[in-house]
Amino acid sequence: MPSDLFSLKMRASCGGRHISGAEKILPESGVPAHLHSLLERAMHHANGEPDFVNLKLERLSADSILHLDALPVRSLTADSPESGLELMRGMLESLGVARSPEIVGLLRKTHGMRGAVLLDADTLEHLEPDLERGVRATMMDAAESDSGTHCSPCKNHYAEAMVLAAKVANAPGLVAELCISDDPDYVTGYIASKTLGYVRIAPLKKAGSPFGGRIFLYRGKREDTVRTIEFLEQQPVLVHGIPPKPQDGGRIDTPVQISNPQKRIRIALQSLHERKLHRTEEVFESPASAHVTLHGRDTLMFASNDYLDLANDPRVKEAALDAVKQFGTGTGGSRLTTGTQTIHKELERALAEFKSTEDALTFATGFAANSGVIPALCSRSDVIFSDELNHASIIDGCRLSGARIVVYRHNDMHDLERKIASNTPCSGLVVSDAVFSMDGDIVNLPEFLGIARRYQLFSMIDEAHATGIVGPGGHGVLSLFPGLNLRPDILMGTLSKAIGSEGGFVCTSREMTDYLRNKARSYIFSTAPAPASAAAALAALRIIRTEPERVARLQSNVAFFLEQLHRLGIPAQTGSAIIPIIVGNSARALAAADSMRDDDIFVSAIRYPSVPEGSARLRLTVMSSHTQSELARCAESLAKAIL
């Protein structure tokens, strides 16, 4: 049985100022000699003489110690600090961290902190409980045979960094660690993660610069950060197999040149494969409908956004064909030059009527609508308050605007108001999905609009998954509150889901459409939607209006499907036709989708970056044309796949 070890820590300070510190994990037999050498180091350190030395000895039971392998080391050389930081940004991107430039920029600002910044990798929210102290990784050492420094009073910075990087890379929820030394003479830093290994990069700053810092990037649930911090601060770890320091003649992998863009692509793809996040298209051999042909097999579709099965409706297809005959296949120009045909204006009138607004404006896609409208409404001097689960097109629209983005907790109106209040006075926008595309729940509209009005901010909701689906006749989330006369400034939607065609739209006041026509770049600088798409959307809208039973059927199908799931012990819920079944990790979601595929049922495994890491899910969607026996069959197959 392995015997217990001891953790020996030393901290020396003078007048409260930190002078030196070190820790070791070692057998009892090594304690006296080490105690002596640490005391020597504390008393005679180049940083000054201490007036206080704290030596702490703790027994660690052998089975509480986690043994980890060191990360593989690579050493990269850039030709300037800017190129070095660019390399770091590229590597972060390869880990799926979209806001890498901001994160690398923050590294300099962490200067002076004792510990590391614990940052949400996606929202960049600070998660460290004490902003001044930061989060510290302690209770760790190189395994005795690896450190090569035991009983030596001199510190081995390289081995210490390798130990720290291995512990941090293995901490739950941590995506990566970034570090630049605050030693003015040491221009090297590193990025480390389980997939990248330990990548030393030089230079990351100019010689003589005292700036440096350390960031731990976290991805996961807020409440789980406690577990991560506990691991970092309290879990005893011994790291094995520390490779020799590269510049000391040790192993150096082929240096990556910043000028080699192909390599960057390869690293990114490799990382996606390793994390089970790599995606390719599924190729169908039939039109979108409740039954599709996939690899020659009749497959039941439970993943389409064509909720009302209108994309293959004979009347909708006929309208598209007629439009091709009347207007041709393309428009040959943008809406403000030669691209507007009578069919576009007719569609916009029908949309405004359907949503009971003064006017409407169409775009090439829903993505183009969001990424054009938001920057038209806000610029650098504004603040945008955005739900953390908003669709990517909203997020990109916010980023394009240059406005400051404040992300509030999902559908948490308390958090929204708190965040607005702490940023007032400000001008800007509050924006939310009406139905959340990966969760199927509905925005708390009365409060959302009340807050926007109270703080005099623009309000915008995205009804991509509400139009044709939610409320009586599928009129959307506003129709859920008939007595309240709710009106967002911008009601956005797409023609590509329940409307069975292609294109985006906004329904709003005449003054606002006039403004957006002149300001929304994706409207102005993009060719007008094809006449066939506009005509198909118009025909589908007419069907939705004249056949409200289709929407009612969709809604009763959803209720029936939920009943089936509950009967089988699956606690699903939704406010729309999207039913998320959260399974946790990507591999599990893929395996469950594959299992259902074996039953000839198609569902989507939704993984990061479409949803936060750790919340991979099956996203099931119900269609109005599913029969009850098909809904029951899907529920049975799902239960088999996940229970």
State in angstroms the smallest separation of the CB of 233 from ligand PLP.
40
401 catalytic, yes or no? no
Whichever of 50 and 575 has its CB closer to ligand PLP, that residue is: 575
State in angstroms the smallest separation of the CB of 392 from ligand PLP.
8
34 catalytic, yes or no? no
| 413 Rama class: left (phi>0) / alpha (psi -120 to 50) / beta | alpha
Distances (CA, A) of 373 to 362, 430, 462: 11, 13, 11
With beta carbons less than 8 A apart as the criterion, state whether 238 and 67 touch: yes
465 catalytic, yes or no? yes
Whichever of 392 and 639 has its CB closer to ligand PLP, that residue is: 392
Whichever of 128 and 433 has its CB closer to ligand PLP, that residue is: 433
Whichever of 331 and 494 has its CB closer to ligand PLP, that residue is: 494
Per-residue burial over 109-120, b = 16 or more CB atoms within 10 Å of its CB, e = otherwise: ebeebebbbbbb
**Alpha carbon of residue 493 to chain centroid:** 22
Smallest CA-to-CA distance from 507 within 491, 485, 523 is with: 491
Whichever of 88 and 499 has its CB closer to ligand PLP, that residue is: 499
Tokens of 525: 């600088």
Q: What are phi and psi of 286, to 5 degrees?
A: -145, 170
* 531 cis-preceded (ω within 30 degrees of 0): no
State in angstroms the smallest separation of the CB of 464 from ligand PLP.
3
Whichever of 197 and 440 has its CB closer to ligand PLP, that residue is: 440
Distances (CA, A) of 198 to 136, 144, 241, 377, 565: 19, 21, 13, 43, 46
CA–CA dist 279, 273 (Å, integer): 9
CA–CA dist 513, 361 (Å, integer): 6
- Annotated catalytic residue within 24, 34, 167, 465: 465
- Annotated catalytic residue within 437, 459, 533, 586: 437
3-state secondary structure 533-547: HHHHHHHHHHHHHHC
State in angstroms the smallest separation of the CB of 394 from ligand PLP.
7
State in angstroms the smallest separation of the CB of 491 from ligand PLP.
12
State in angstroms the smallest separation of the CB of 398 from ligand PLP.
13
State in angstroms the smallest separation of the CB of 452 from ligand PLP.
19
Cα angle 621, 622, 625 (rounded to 5 degrees) comes to 140
With beta carbons less than 8 A apart as the criterion, state whether 578 and 439 touch: yes
* 203 cis-preceded (ω within 30 degrees of 0): yes
Whichever of 137 and 464 has its CB closer to ligand PLP, that residue is: 464
Cα angle 265, 220, 409 (rounded to 5 degrees) comes to 110
Residues that bind ligand PLP (CB under 6 A): 365-367, 370, 391, 393, 433, 437, 462, 464-465, 494, 496, 504
Whichever of 162 and 374 has its CB closer to ligand PLP, that residue is: 374
| Residue 299 bridge partners (DSSP) | 292
Smallest CA-to-CA distance from 182 within 112, 117, 134, 118 is with: 112
State in angstroms the smallest separation of the CB of 395 from ligand PLP.
10
Distances (CA, A) of 91 to 17, 338, 490: 36, 44, 38
**Alpha carbon of residue 287 to chain centroid:** 31
State in angstroms the smallest separation of the CB of 617 from ligand PLP.
15
State in angstroms the smallest separation of the CB of 287 from ligand PLP.
17
On the 0-12 / 13-18 / 19+ scale of CB atoms within 10 A, 208 is: exposed
Tokens of 331: 């428009």
CA–CA dist 307, 290 (Å, integer): 9
**Residues 6+ away with beta carbon under 8 Å from 495:** 362, 366, 501, 502, 503, 504, 505, 533, 537, 540
Whichever of 258 and 430 has its CB closer to ligand PLP, that residue is: 430
Residue nearest to ligand PLP (CB): 366
- Annotated catalytic residue within 497, 586, 610, 625: 497
Residues in the chain: 643
Whichever of 393 and 411 has its CB closer to ligand PLP, that residue is: 393
Q: Which residues are catalytic?
A: 437, 465, 497
